[in-house]
Amino acid sequence: MRNAHGQFPYITVGGLDQLKVFRTEDFQLVATIPVGTLPHGIWPSGDGIRVYVALEQATALAVIDTLRNRQIATVPIGQATQALVFVPNAVRQGNGMQNLQPRGTGMGAFQLVLVDAGGRPATHVTLFDQGSVQILQAAVTGLQPRQVYVLALSTDPKAAGPVVPLIAFVANWAAIVNAVGPIRQYIKGRPKRYFVITGGSPAQFGHPVQVEGPSRR
């Protein structure tokens, strides 16, 4: 991306919820910009003074001022966005709202955070509403690479009670874990369920390594 200050690559780092900016002439880090949850997809404006970043778990995009390298706005968009395209002057007449439809149920999302043994935020979990079911997406960080873990639900917030597996996965430094089902209804029912990540396998759980943080939204 080129502007009045020079030429810079902008790189999304999903596991850190950050946008990093480098200088092409010497590859030095110029700025680290906190954005929303799981940035994934980026496009510059035609004049180079804005960069738009899709936030996969935030149902929104971040607007970045490239001259000051800071986020100046958040724009609501659809669910689980992984790419975007900015076309300068695409709308020649009107306000660009013609023939658009309300987002309705497809906009709803429920989010929470799992923390590690030290209480540090490690994994963002989002449930995207699809009517009677939800698509679960967990952006997992902080686990040992090439080890098997289980994302599960427990009746106890520290996974001391019965545990029901949702999906097993092999970790990298970061991993994206997906599942589909009536999960929101299940976690808000009686008894209440909590998300946990354990070692081991669905057949034999290991110790919990991440549990829900103090708040859901």
**Element spanning 60, H or E:** strand 60-65
- pLDDT of residue 217 exceeding 60: no
Give the whole-angstrom CA distance, residue 93 versus residue 91.
Answer: 6
Residue owning tokens 């449930």: 127
Residues 24-43 have pLDDT tens digits of 989 999 999 999 889 988 99
Give the whole-angstrom CA distance, residue 74 versus residue 77.
Answer: 9
CATH of the domain at 51: 2.40.10
Domain-embedded: residue 97: no
- pLDDT of residue 111 exceeding 80: yes
Q: What are phi and psi of 202, to 5 degrees?
A: -60, -25
Domain-embedded: residue 93: no
CATH of the domain at 188: 2.60.40.200
Provide the domain count of the chain: 2
